[in-house]
Each structure stands twice: as C-alpha cells, then as structure tokens.
Amino acid sequence: MARVFSGIQPTGDMHLGNYLGAVRQWVADQDAHDALYCVVDLHAITLPHDPAELAARTRRTAMLLLAAGLDPHRCTLFVQSHVRVHTELTWVLNCVATMGELRRMTQFKDKGQGQESVSVGLFDYPVLMAADILAYDTDRVPVGDDQRQHLELARDIALRFNHRFGETLVVPEAAIPPVGARIMDLANPTAKMSKSAESPTGTIALLDDPKSITKRIKSAVTDSETEVRFDVAAKPGVSNLLSILGAVTGRDPETLAGDFTGGYGGLKTATAEAVVEFLAPLQERYRDLEADPAGVDAVLGEGAAKAEAIADGVMARVRDAVGLLPRP
C-alpha cells in the first residue's frame, strides 16, 4: 500500500475551504493507503504566536480532523512535536539544503515581507516540512497547489541526499487535487478562503452555528446581474457559491446552475441550507470529542507511538548513511 503523509497547521479554526480542499481527500485516502496525518505545531511557531493558545489550538485541530472523519483505526493521526525525529532529521537535511534554494521559496518571501525581523525558523520552514515527509518513507503527499514548491524542494533534498550518501530516502510524489475543490472567500471571491483573511465574514469555520453560516452565505458578494451561471472569471462570487453547493451535495456546479432561474436568492438559500446540513454531523461528533478529552489524548498518544516507530527506523538509516557514531 502506498504511504501518504500530509500536515496541517494549528493556526486557527479549520474552515470549509480546508475541509473541501484538503481534509476530505485525507478522509478518502484512509482506506486505500497507509495514511499519516500530522498537526504541525512546530511549523506554527515560525511566526510570532501566542503560547497560551497553541496547545489548545493543536488539540482543536486534531479534534476537528477526527470529527471530519479521520479514523484512528484506519490512519495515523499525531502531533508533530510529539515525535522528535522531525527536528532531528531537519538538522541533517539542513546540511543538504542550500541557502539559495530556500531563498527562492515564494512562501518565505510572502510571509517574511513586512516583518521587522524574520526568524531562522521561518526561513527553514520548508526543510522541516521536508523532514516531516521524508521521515516516513512517504510515497505521496496530498497538498494544495500553494505547497507545490515546498514539495519540489523536499524531492530535491531527498535526491541530493541519496546521491551524496547512497540510497536512503524515498523520493515522494505530489498529489495535487484537481481544481474545483478551490473554495474562495465569500466576501472577496477572487481570493482563497483563508484563516488569515482580513475580515472573517468571508470564511465559514467548521464549527460556526447555523445562523451565522446562513448569514454569511446570504451576504456573500455576487455581482449586479441576476443570471446564475458557472463562470469563474466573469462571475467569481456566483461560481464560488455553485462550487460550494456542488462540493457539499456531490453535484456538478455547472449543472446546478440550471436549477436557479429566479436570481441569486434561491442559490444563496439552497447553499446555506446545504452547508448547514453538511456540517451538522461533523459538529455533533466534535461535541462528543470535546466531552471526552482523555479519549482524544489516547488517540494522539497512540498516533505518536505508531508514527515514531516508523520515523525511528528511517532516522537510523539516515544516521548510518551520514556516518554518525552509533550510541553505545
């Protein structure tokens, strides 16, 4: 079975865009793959963060993933900082990666811009991500298009390592989901729905209550025509609603457009109702998990142990390949 690995940052509350764009694929991959999913808390400290919030956010993200359908019996779900190999392997890979290739990372340029001082950790973010992936002999990495460059770097680092020290690391492939899963901001439909959006009115968090979901969808930005038609370039707002409705009902957005002849009101109502209905079971599972913190701890403890067993083996090969003295 091919091994898949992916990670998600615990930076905020997961939203519908994360779920439909990525997490749903993770859930689907559980059966046909040996799947590992990681809440990457060490990546979250590469930018200024609130220490009082991080642990709670990490737990919340893990609980949301479980509520969304990750099943600890069918996949390995764990927290990055619980498995020390991630940082240990990062160091070794730091000695293989070059300053030049890290400087070219567009996400570093974007995130570093305007910051008074940029941490070494932010610069090194892609090497930590490479370590996440390479520590598990990963075959496939399901990520969004925005992570393509980081994945390419992970491949380059693995190839260079193998060239320099002998065949040691598995070179992973990207599994970029087909377009259509791109959910845009409701208030600004040419930008991706994002946790860091300037205004929260364009985002639907997975735990939002039915009233605010309905309100946000009803006030989504559309255009001054009245015709419902799927045309991302000319009608980004309407097309986004059709994409959302299509994604949560399993129907094709272009076909759906034909159902709405009387202006945008009907589309908005139908989308709001469908999203509320779609999220209800997830929200219920989340409440159950919230009521059972010991159960969640047990899942994360077992996940870390399963992950560690794999990563320790890979790290032993890496130590041997680079010539570190075995601990007596």
Please say which residue, 140 or 268, places its beta carbon nearer to ligand TRP: 140
Angle at which helices 120-134 and 85-94 pack, to 10 degrees?
A: 110
Residue 192 annotated as catalytic: yes
Residue of 111, 211, 215, 268 marked catalytic: 111
Residue 105 lies near ligand TRP (rule: CB under 6 A)? no
- Minimum distance, C-beta of residue 38 to ligand TRP, in the bound complex (Å): 7
Residue 111 annotated as catalytic: yes
Segment lying near ligand TRP (by CB under 6 A), choices 139-147, 187-195, 252-260, 264-272: 139-147
Binding residue (CB under 6 A) for ligand TRP from 129, 183, 245, 248: 129
Residue 195 annotated as catalytic: yes
Assigned token pair, 86: 């991630």
- Binding to ligand TRP in span 152-171, by CB under 6 A: none
- Count CA atoms closer than 13 A to 33's CA, side-chain side: 22
Segment lying near ligand TRP (by CB under 6 A), choices 5-13, 87-95, 96-104, 276-284: 5-13
- Minimum distance, C-beta of residue 22 to ligand TRP, in the bound complex (Å): 8
Own/partner pairs, 160-168, CB within 8 angstroms, 24+ separation: 160/96, 161/93, 161/96, 161/318, 161/321, 164/96, 165/321, 165/322, 166/321, 168/317, 168/318, 168/321
**Spatial distance between the Cα atoms of 116 and 110, rounded to a whole number of angstroms:** 13
Assigned token pair, 2: 């091919």
Please say which residue, 153 or 272, places its beta carbon nearer to ligand TRP: 153
Amino acid at 219: S
**Spatial distance between the Cα atoms of 207 and 281, rounded to a whole number of angstroms:** 11
Please say which residue, 6 or 271, places its beta carbon nearer to ligand TRP: 6
| Alpha-helical runs (H) found in the chain | 16-18, 24-32, 41-44, 51-67, 85-94, 99-103, 106-112, 120-134, 148-165, 210-218, 236-249, 253-257, 264-290, 293-322
Q: Which residues pair with 94 in a beta bridge?
A: none
Binding residue (CB under 6 A) for ligand TRP from 3, 9, 46, 248: 9
Q: Which residues pair with 4 in a beta bridge?
A: 35, 140
**Spatial distance between the Cα atoms of 296 and 120, rounded to a whole number of angstroms:** 33
Q: Which residue is nearest to ligand TRP (CB)?
A: 7
- Minimum distance, C-beta of residue 235 to ligand TRP, in the bound complex (Å): 28
Residue 41 lies near ligand TRP (rule: CB under 6 A)? no
Residue 141 lies near ligand TRP (rule: CB under 6 A)? yes
Residue 43 lies near ligand TRP (rule: CB under 6 A)? yes
Residue 143 lies near ligand TRP (rule: CB under 6 A)? yes
Residue 193 lies near ligand TRP (rule: CB under 6 A)? no
Residue 5 lies near ligand TRP (rule: CB under 6 A)? yes
Q: Which residues pair with 34 in a beta bridge?
A: 3
**Catalytic residue numbers, as ranges:** 111, 192, 195
Which positions lie near ligand TRP, rule CB under 6 A? 5-7, 9, 40, 43, 129, 132-133, 141, 143, 147, 150
